[in-house]
Structure 1
Amino acid sequence: MKRRQFIQYAGAGLVAGAVPIAAQAQSGGLTVQYLGHMCFLFTGGGRRILVNPFRSAGCTAGYRAPKVAADLVMISSQILDEGAIDVVPGNPKLLVESGAYDINGFKAQGIAMDHDRVGGKRFGRNIAWRWSQGGLNVVHLGGAAAPITLEQKILIGSPDVVFLPVGGGAKAYDPQEAKQALQVLNAKIIVPMYYRTAAAKEQCDIGGLDAFLSVMSGTPLRKGGSSISLTKANLPKEGSVIQVMTYA
């Protein structure tokens, strides 16, 4: 019953219309930890936000379950190798549906997108998440697979950093589709995710990172570890930078 209560609690904070994310920006920077596949832990502004914890199965079978403490968990899809709240310890608040949320002054926007290329008929809806933390506007696209519509672009806004699926397969952008999405979003820092790594098992149908980097040839590239620190000051002054994170 507890998990269901979390969902109801989050829904109770739902407010109508788009959230003015820029108005809630906080200084101090943001630390991002990569936990595999589409899962990241965001620490900054006095909050720990976990996005897309997974159960170790399918494309995530070789990753450790992300059993990390968080104040808030956002889920893009309830497919278990993409979004599984039962692996998270403690009693975090949980967001799983699209809409505008205000939780004790923290505002987030969930944007519904198709999780396949057939209008959501195969894998349903994916929720992209937008929020501000540590002075940065963050967008995590989850397993987006369809082109970004004008309405979705308005809700997404102008991200400082975007977490972008690039591995293709049936449930998310392939490299060319990811590039097209970036042309709409115009993010300053691009963090690719949802691609095959050494941790993925053979039954995983997604491609590796190199194909995306090839499509994005000419875009500056940074390579880091499993954790990075970001501030407004270290955003690129012009254009975009691809930030590759590694799983540890």
Structure 2
Amino acid sequence: MKRRQLLQASASLLGSLAVGGQRGGAQTAPSPGGSLEFTSQSLQLTWLHHSCVLFEGEGKRFLVNPFRPGGCTAGYPAPRVAADLVLLSSRLLDEGALDVVPGNPKVLFQPGDYVIDGIRVQGVRMPRGPRFGLNVGWRWRMAGIDIVHLGGALQPIGREQSILLARPDLLLVPVGGGPKNYDPEAAKAAIEVLQPKLVIPTMYRTAAAEASQCELQPLAAFLRLFPAAAVQPALSNPLLLSAQALPSQGIAILFFEE
């Protein structure tokens, strides 16, 4: 497919995601007929900053990478959100602070193949080197959408990771660089290998960071690597996604403004 056609496919998705969205409410991707509706096959995604996201669908709540405010997350509120399952990419405080989560949810933090409440969850080993140890990338399917969250990935996508993580509907990828995450160029390379339909960047520098304790780059350094037609801010938080609204071709970038 020609480059123009790829951009048109991405722009088509971004236009559909903008329909019916207002800040402060749930932005809803339309069904093929154009009507706006929340069904059991809708995925609600709530952006809780950094790489922390709450996914709700099929009557279940999965929380990924709760953090303790400090350093690059100093100005964010702790994500004190109830969940049925908590997925941790590591036990570092910016992506594995289990103590901020209320209740007694199930918790996964090691690579493996699990079935949790009828949903298959795969934890994929992604080494980060001796300083920061192991990162776990997570894959599962919820409300008809195949989700991959790369946590704090640093190393290029290898053959094993590619087999286990390729071609998701939705990919969450760190983009801010620093000593333990992809920088913008490495994040783009991982996207090109994994070929998702929709990308949400994570772990970038914002005004919430303590200036002396955050080595991340701003989001703009990542976004400028992509054509403007493929990039759009989310118009609401939480966000409703529908599998039917995802692009059949091309890659779209959707980001949350901080």
TM-score where L is the length of structure 1 = 0.85
- Deviation string for 1:200-245 (max 9, x for gaps)? 1111110000110111235511211332111111101320110011
Task: Give the Cα separation in 2 of the matches to 1:41 and 1:103.
Answer: 16
Task: Check whether the contact 2:167–2:197 (CA below 8 A) recurs between aligned residues.
Answer: no
1:226 aligns with 237
2:215 aligns with 205
Q: 1:243 aligns with which of 230, 254, 258?
A: 254
Paired letter, 1:156: L
2:186 aligns with 177
Identity of aligned residues (%): 50
2:26 aligns with none
Inter-CA distance 27–153: structure 2 relative to 1 (3 Å threshold): farther
Paired positions, count: 218
Name the SS for the 1:215 alignment partner: coil
Q: 2:175 aligns with which of 163, 166, 174?
A: 166
2:52 aligns with 39
Paired letter, 1:212: F
Name the SS for the 1:36 alignment partner: coil
1:153 aligns with 162
Paired letter, 1:114: P
Task: Check whether the contact 2:80–2:101 (CA below 8 A) recurs between aligned residues.
Answer: yes
**Higher RCO (Cα < 8 Å, 6 or more apart):** 2
Task: Check whether the contact 1:50–1:74 (CA below 8 A) recurs between aligned residues.
Answer: yes
- Deviation string for 1:112-158 (max 9, x for gaps)? 1123xxxx111101000000001000000000000011111111132
Deviation larger for 167-176 or 238-247: 238-247
1:79 aligns with 92
**Cα RMSD after superposing both structures:** 1.4
Paired letter, 1:93: K
Task: Check whether the contact 2:62–2:85 (CA below 8 A) recurs between aligned residues.
Answer: yes
Unaligned runs of 5+ in 2: 1-38
1:20 aligns with none
Name the SS for the 2:253 alignment partner: strand
- Deviation string for 1:161-209 (max 9, x for gaps)? 0001000010100000001001111000000010001111111110000
1:48 aligns with 61
Task: Give the Cα separation in 2 of the matches to 1:243 and 1:78.
Answer: 27
1:28 aligns with 41
Unaligned runs of 5+ in 1: 1-25
Task: Give the Cα separation in 2 of the matches to 1:174 and 1:217.
Answer: 18
1:99 aligns with 112
Task: Give the Cα separation in 2 of the matches to 1:187 and 1:151.
Answer: 17
Name the SS for the 2:224 alignment partner: helix
TM-score where L is the length of structure 2 = 0.82
Inter-CA distance 177–219: structure 2 relative to 1 (3 Å threshold): farther
